Chain A
Amino acid sequence: MHDHLVAIKGTKDGLLVQVSPTEEWNSVTADLAARIDQQLSFYAGARVTLDVGSRPVRKDELGSVKALLERRGLALWAVMSESKTTIDSAQAMDLRTSQPKSAVPIQSTDMPAPSSQEDGTPGMLVKRTLRSGRSVKSPGHVVIFGDVNAGAEVIAGGDVFVWGRLRGSVHAGANGDSGAVVCALDMTPTQLRIAGQIAISPVDKRHKPKPEMAVIRNNRIVVETWE
């Protein structure tokens, strides 16, 4: 099998999709669709910045990508390119545009981030309590400044920090990162997942709220005092 023709990365602005500048457009879009379909529930709802490099992309080509994303519940939000044709196409579709050099700071190999961002990893801050039925998904880390009530869920590619009570469900390291952690000021989740591991809270009638951290040790999720 050949290498992937597209790279999907999490950024603070959503997903960054970088596509091969040379490969045939149809192959690129087919690969993109396949990649998203592999983890549909994880990507669904994200907004996408498409980086096509120097490739000139016509409006109808861009339109087909937009439709492809929307069918899967993703939104095409911005386009990055050095090609004027591509930028014109994007602007005609009312999309945000930028040239990669002046683009929103993004962690990536071929595009060094500004130095002020060097040690950061993309994250998402939610400054509210998540009530039942709410779902927050991010390819990066997630910080909830509030409670996660029972019936709410957080799915993150990275770590999850709950500055409040965690009573709902959390999946950290949803892309398979077993080094991901979950922290909460009061850890009584309905269900906790890190990478491929699943745990539930023990029944504890004398539960006293205290900050705790869940990590994987020896292929099991363990909860430790968070210090």
Chain B
Amino acid sequence: MGAKVVTITSGKGGVGKTTTTANVGVALAKDGQKVVLIDADIGLRNLDLVMGLEKYIVYDLVDVVEGRAKLRQAMIKHRQFPELYLIPAAQTRDKTAVSPADMIQLTDQLRGEFDYILIDSPAGIERGFRNAVAPADDVLIVTNPEVSAVRDADRIIGLLEANHKEPGQLIINRLKPEAVRRKEMLSPEEITDILGIKIIGIVPEDENVVPSSNTGVPVTLMEQSRAGQAFRDIARRLMGEKVPFMSLDDASGGLFKRISRLFGGG
């Protein structure tokens, strides 16, 4: 069977694709899975920073595709989890340096050795996006609880459907229960009403995320972080476990009840 290729994409930029890729990847590795992360955002390389691996880069994805390096040489081993690897993007090239066929070929070479291959897609719907989703078995669509991000997610789902891919599963990132209650932010219910796809995770806004990205230690590793908990839950759901959605709203209770109804319990 081999690895499952999971692409993390969004359409809109800045919604948390890279953060999600890093955190879900680390959470999977923490659970004993063999994981390789691929940064498909060629020219705007970021995943290595968030993973704290920038200084170890020797070869990148484009070097492999163009034959300057063997696949193994471009795979950076994580310091803490020896079965977690990163294939970084090239910083000095652009998306056209790689084709969808290259990505399929590359992932096919990795499938035998790993449990999960996570691909961090660039924003947009052009070549970089097509590269990232070409080999995907599963797609995770990251959105924020705001109209523009949801609109772009809708576009992405439409493109996946048009390419005969599954419509994917949704991650709602940076949800603020307070703001939802004040009706300043879309609720998970309103978002699923528009998009009509399954939610695999709701990540609350968490002030730990930015410093953790800056220091290269994904928030997943912080036991106390609520966002970290949400990413760990997503990883377990990816592995097929039934994990109840955590309460986002202990104080008033209202939102959580509605969310759990969306998933038929919880």
Contacts and interface: CB of A to CB of B under 8 A. Distances in A.
B211 interface: no
A152 B151 CA distance: 10
B214 to A, nearest CB: 33
A108 interface: no
Interface stretch (A27-35, A36-44, A91-99, A128-136): A128-136
Nearest to B193: A165
Query: Which applies to chain B's interface (DSSP): helix, strand, loop or mixed?
Result: helix
B158 A134 contact: yes
A125 B158 CA distance: 18
Nearest to A130: B158
Contact of A151 (B125, B151, B159, B161): B151
A150 interface: yes
Interface string B184-203: 00000000001010000000
Given A131-B161, A132-B158, A150 B196 contact: no
Contact of B196 (A129, A132, A152): A129
Interface in B135-187: 151-152, 154-155, 157-159, 161
A187 to B, nearest CB: 16
Nearest to B159: A133
A138 interface: no
B194 A149 contact: yes
A151 B196 contact: no
Contact of A149 (B125, B154, B159): B154
A130 to B, nearest CB: 8
Contacts of B154: 131-133, 149-151
Given A130-B158, A132-B152, A150-B194, 14 more contacts: A129-B196, A131-B155, A131-B157, A131-B158, A131-B161, A132-B154, A132-B155, A133-B125, A133-B155, A133-B159, A149-B194, A150-B154, A151-B155, A152-B158
Interface of B: 125, 151-152, 154-155, 157-159, 161, 194, 196
25 contacts: A128-B161, A129-B196, A130-B158, A131-B154, A131-B155, A131-B157, A131-B158, A131-B161, A132-B151, A132-B152, A132-B154, A132-B158, A133-B125, A133-B154, A133-B155, A133-B158, A133-B159, A149-B154, A149-B194, A150-B151, A150-B154, A151-B151, A151-B154, A151-B155, A152-B158
Interface of A: 128-134, 149-152
